[in-house]
Structure 1
Amino acid sequence: MTGKTAVVTGSTSGIGFETAKMLASRGARVVLACRDPEAMHAAADRIRTQVETAEVVEVVLDLADLSSVSAAADRVCGQFACVDLLINNAGVMALRQQRLTADGFEMQLAVNHLGHFAFTGLLLVRLAASRAARVVTVSSKVHPRGRIGIEDLPVPPRYDPWAAYAASKLANVLFASELNRRLSAAGLRVISLACHPGFSSTNLSRELVSSRIGTTLLGMLKKITTQPAARGALPTLCAATAPDMQGGEYIGPTRMGHTRGPAGLDRMKGDSSDRDLARGLWSRSEELTNVRYTFDAAASVPVAS
C-alpha cells in the first residue's frame, strides 16, 4: 500500500480503527474521517504510537450533516490529487428512539447510507484519478431483513430500531452494487465492493442498552458470541486490498455461517438483487443529498502520477 491514499470513515474505534491501523502499517497514507475531533485525534495518536512509520491525516466528517460531508470532501480533494481507497465504514445501529438529522433524515439512513452516498460522489473525481481505486462499503448480515419503500424515504411512517437499521444496511449493498455497475459502464478505473464483519465486538451496540446491568450483560454476551474487532476488520481489508477482488463482490467471514473466521466471498440476499430498487434508491439519494455523480467528468480526469 506504499504511496496510496486511503480514506476510512468512522475510524476512531472498532473495525474502522483496526482497518486504518493495518493500512498504515502497510505503508498507506491514511485519512481518518470522523465526527468527533477529540476521539479522532486520540485514534491518530494510537496509530502513530503503534506504527512508527504511519502517515495519518485527520478530517472532521459528520455523516449526519450534509454541510459537514461537503466540507470534508472539499478538504480531501484540496489535499490529495487522487484517492486510491475509500472505505465507507462509519455507522450507527438500532437507535432506541427515532432521531432526525439537521437535514431532516432518519438518523440511521442518514449516517449509514445517505452521508456515504454523498461523500463518495463528491470524491469521485479523485477516485477516478487513481490507477486502480476501490470503494468498499461496510454492510451487515442483517441486510436480507431490510425493506425499503422509496416513497417513504427519508423518514419511515413508523419507526422500529432494527427495521431502520436493516433498511440502512440493505441500502449499503444496493448502493455498492449499483455504483459498481455505473462505474463499469463509464469505463472508470474504480471498482465498488461491499463487505460485512460477521459477529464482531464493536462500539455499535452501545445504543442497545441503557442500564449498568444491561451494559454488563451485553459485554459478557459479546465475549462469548463475537470475534475481536481486529478479526472483524479482515473482510474490509480483503475487499480493499486483495488482488483478485472483482467489482460487485460481497466479502465476509467464511466460517460458522459467515459469522467469523478468515475473509472470503459471501452472497448478498433478500432485496439486494433488485436492480429496479437499486436504481430507485440511487435517484432518491441524489434528490435528498443534492449530490449527482458526474461519471463523464470523472472519466476524463488524467491518472495521477
Structure 2
Amino acid sequence: MGIWPTGYLTWATVISPALLMVLVYILGIVYRWKAGRANLNSVRMDGKTVVITGASAGIGKETARDMASRGAKVILGCRNIPKATKVADDIRNTTGNEKVFVRQLDTSSLTSTRNFCNQILAEEKRIDVLILNAGIAGLDERNLTSDGFEYTMATNHFGHFLLANMLLGLLKKSRPSRIVIVSSDSLLDTLSVDNLNFEKGEFGPYKSYCQSKSCNVLFCRRLAELTRGEGVVVNSMNPGLVYTEIFDKAGGIFIGLFFRLLVPFLGKTEVQGAQTVVYLAAAEETGAITGKFFEDCKISSTADALLKNDELAKQVWEASETLVGLQPNEKHY
C-alpha cells in the first residue's frame, strides 16, 4: 500500500496540471493588461518612408500595418518574398494605403544585405525611419552562414550592423530620422568580443540568442554616440514576451518546446508586441531621445549594464566592422 490513497493520486494528477494552466492563463491576462500602449491615434506619417526588416510576420508585420495606416510609404525587407507579398497585399487592403512594397532581404547573408541596401539607395530619395526587426531564436547546433558567421549572430546582428551603416548616409540626408533596433531583455552583462561566432567554448541556442541581442544593444549605444547631434536618433527596445512564429524553428527545450507550449497563453499579441516599436518610430517625444533602451513604451533600466559599457560597445563595433568587411563607401559616420 502506498503512502497516498489511490483516490488522492488520481485527483492530484488531474487537478495539478489544471491549476497550473489556470495560473498561466491568469498571468497572461495580467501581463497583457499591463503591456504598454503607444496611444498615438492622431499621429500621421504622410510623406515619410519607413523601412522594416523581417516584416512578413509577427511584430514586424503589425508595425508595418501601423505605419501604413498613418500614411507612410512602407518597405518590407523580407527573406520569403511570396509570404511577404501576401502580407503587403493584406496591409494595403486593411489600411487603404497602396504605398506598401516588398524587397528581397536575408540579413543572414552579407551579399543579400548589400543588394538590398544598394536597391534602396538607388530607388529611394529618403528614409525617415529604419526598423531593424528581423530575427531568429537560437538554433540547436552551431550552424555557419556562407560568410562564416554563426547563423543567429548573422541574422540578428551582423546583417543589421551592415544594413544600418550602408543606409546611414540617406538617413542623415532625411533628418530628422530614426533607427529602431528590436532587441530583448535576454541580455548578457558582458561577452567575449573575440568569440562572437562561438569558435571557442560551449555553444547553446539560448546563449547565442542572448549574445546576438546584447550586440543589438551595444550596437545601438555606439551608433547613437557616432550620430549624436546629426539629426538621427537610435534606440533599442524589448518587445516583451510575444506570441509569434519566431519560436517555431527555435532549438533547445527551453527556447523551443517550452515557449511553443506556454507563449500562446502567457505572451502579448503581435499588435501589443509592436507598440513600443511604433512609439519609437512615431511619437514626437522619442524623436529627441537617443541611445536608450525601451520597454512598454518607456525607458527601461534592463540594459543599463550594457548601455554604460562604452568600451565594450566600441569593441563590438570595431569587431563587427572588420567581420562584415565594411568598405569606405559604406561608412557614413
Q: How many percent of aligned residue pairs carry the same amino acid?
A: 31
Spell out the pairing of 1:120-159 with structure 2 (5 A cutoff): 120-143=164-187, 145=188, 147-157=190-200, 158-159=202-203
Aligned residue in 2 for 1:281: 316
The answer to whether the 8 Å contact 2:51/2:76 transfers is yes
Is 2:272 aligned against 1:250? Answer: no
Aligned residue in 2 for 1:160: 204
Aligned positions, number = 283
More displaced 10-residue stretch of structure 1: 242-251 or 28-37? 242-251
How far off its partner does 1:220 sit? 4.7
Aligned residue in 1 for 2:34: none
Change over 3 Å in CA distance of 1:293–1:202 after alignment to 2: farther
Aligned residue in 1 for 2:219: 175
Q: 1:205 aligns with which of 225, 244, 247?
A: 247
The answer to whether the 8 Å contact 1:105/1:155 transfers is no
The TM-score, its normalising length taken from structure 2, stands at 0.80
- Counterpart CA distance in 1 for 2:321 and 2:194 is 14
The answer to whether the 8 Å contact 1:194/1:251 transfers is yes
How far off its partner does 1:223 sit? 2.4
More displaced 10-residue stretch of structure 1: 152-161 or 11-20? 152-161
The answer to whether the 8 Å contact 1:146/1:168 transfers is no
The answer to whether the 8 Å contact 2:107/2:155 transfers is yes
More displaced 10-residue stretch of structure 1: 263-272 or 189-198? 263-272
Change over 3 Å in CA distance of 1:37–1:10 after alignment to 2: same
Aligned residue in 1 for 2:69: 25
Spell out the pairing of 1:1-305 with structure 2 (5 A cutoff): 1-143=45-187, 145=188, 147-157=190-200, 158-184=202-228, 187-208=229-250, 218-245=259-286, 246-253=289-296, 263-267=297-301, 268-291=303-326, 298=332
Q: What secondary structure sits across from 1:178 in the alignment?
A: helix
| Greater Rg over alpha carbons, structure | 2
List per-residue Cα deviations over 1:82-109 (Å, max 9, x = no partner): 1111000000112112111110000111
How far off its partner does 1:298 sit? 4.8
CA RMSD of aligned residues (A): 2.1
Residue type matched to 1:241 in 2? Answer: A
- Counterpart CA distance in 1 for 2:285 and 2:194 is 38
Unaligned 5+ segments in structure 1 are 254-262, 300-305
How far off its partner does 1:4 sit? 0.3
Residue type matched to 2:317 in 1? Answer: W
The answer to whether the 8 Å contact 2:166/2:332 transfers is no
The TM-score, its normalising length taken from structure 1, stands at 0.87
- Counterpart CA distance in 2 for 1:74 and 1:108 is 24
The answer to whether the 8 Å contact 2:138/2:251 transfers is no
- Counterpart CA distance in 2 for 1:201 and 1:232 is 8
Change over 3 Å in CA distance of 1:294–1:275 after alignment to 2: farther
How far off its partner does 1:53 sit? 2.0
Higher RCO, 1 or 2 (CA under 8 Å, sep at least 6)?
2
Aligned residue in 1 for 2:33: none
The answer to whether the 8 Å contact 1:27/1:54 transfers is no
Aligned residue in 2 for 1:256: none
- Counterpart CA distance in 2 for 1:153 and 1:209 is 19
Runs of 4+ more than 4 Å apart: 217-220, 292-295
- Counterpart CA distance in 1 for 2:139 and 2:251 is 10
Unaligned 5+ segments in structure 2 are 1-44
How far off its partner does 1:37 sit? 1.0
The answer to whether the 8 Å contact 1:25/1:54 transfers is no
